[in-house]
């Protein structure tokens, strides 16, 4: 029974329930650990929060976006990245929603700020994918569109839960979004970009 692991798990479940407002008492109880132990190890609640989140972000959202970006066909690439990221996000929906809430409140440090982390990783993936094509693409606009897809599933009222669908349905939806984004890319080629 690794104490650190115990604390991390307990802290996460407590933080998911109440966000940063979860008391150290609750965290301690959830982790099966004395409250003072938390302070001896992490000094402040804020530090505990950041440490735990940094760890969990790497573990759960560590993206292999560049792998996906190697795909040469843009429609397939977009479909894959939507399918992949959306699945991860929806699997951790409660955690992600808590992070979004705290982010909106300005409570997150840069390294742990989920929207920023995801947005910048999307941009990197897009840059990588388009670098060798002589297609002029507004990366920011495209990343925003992708982000919008994720956010809509995370925040808008859900009739059907994404992670409860069959793989075929999921792929179909991902493809639909991908084609939607694709259509603006093709358009941008004959016009000019973003602004």
Partner DNA sequence: TCGTTATGTAAGTTACCACTAACATACATA
Partner DNA sequence: TATGTATGTTAGTGGTAACTTACATAACGA
Interface ranges with its own copies (CB under 8 A): 19, 21, 97-98, 100-105, 115-116, 119-120, 140-141, 143-145, 147-149, 151-153, 155-157, 159-160, 165, 169, 172-173, 176-177, 179-181, 183-184, 187, 194-195
Footprint on this chain of DNA (rule: CB under 7 A)? 3, 21-26, 32-37, 39-41, 43-46
Helix (H, G, I), strand (E, B) or coil at 155: helix
Looking at the Cβ atoms of 26 and 83, the one nearer to DNA is 26
- 1/195 with CB nearer its own copies: 195
Least separation in angstroms between CB 27 and DNA = 8
* Neighbour count for residue 98 (Cβ, 10 Å): 21
Q: Which does 144 bind (CB under 5 to 8 A by kind): DNA, its own copies, none?
A: its own copies
Residue (of 141, 107, 108) closest to 123 by Cα position: 141
- Would you say the C-alpha torsion 164, 168, 174, 177 has a positive or negative sign? negative
Q: Which among 96, 81, 100, 93 has a CA at the least distance from the CA of 142?
A: 81
Q: Which is nearer to DNA, 43 or 189 (CB)?
A: 43
* Chosen from DNA, its own copies, none, partner binding at 83 (C-beta under 5 to 8 Å by type): none
CB 23 to DNA: min, Å? 3
DSSP string, 74-127: HHHHHHHHHHHHHHHHHHTHHHHHHHHHHHHTT---GGG-HHHHHHHHHHHHHH
Please identify, using beta-carbon distances, which residue of 25 and 164 lies nearer to DNA: 25
């Amino acid at each position: 029974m690794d104490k650190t692991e115990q604390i991390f798990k307990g802290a996460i479940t407590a933080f998911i329930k109440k966000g940063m407002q979860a008391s150290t008492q609750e965290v301690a109880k959830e982790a099966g650990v004395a409250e003072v132990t938390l302070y001896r190890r992490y000094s402040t609640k804020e530090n505990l929060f950041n440490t735990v989140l940094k760890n969990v972000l790497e573990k759960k959202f560590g993206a292999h976006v560049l792998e996906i970006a190697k795909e040469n066909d843009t429609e397939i690439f977009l479909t894959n990245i939507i399918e992949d990221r959306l699945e991860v996000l929806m699997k951790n929906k409660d955690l992600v929603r808590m992070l979004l809430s705290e982010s909106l409140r300005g409570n997150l440090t840069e390294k742990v700020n989920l929207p920023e982390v995801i947005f910048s990783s999307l941009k990197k993936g897009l840059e990588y994918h388009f670098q060798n094509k002589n297609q002029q693409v507004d990366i920011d606009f495209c990343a925003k569109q992708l982000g919008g897809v994720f956010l809509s599933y995370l925040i808008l009222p859900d009739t059907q839960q994404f992670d409860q669908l069959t793989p075929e349905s999921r792929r179909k939806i991902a493809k639909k979004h991908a084609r939607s984004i694709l259509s603006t890319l093709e358009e941008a080629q004959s016009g000019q970009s973003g602004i």
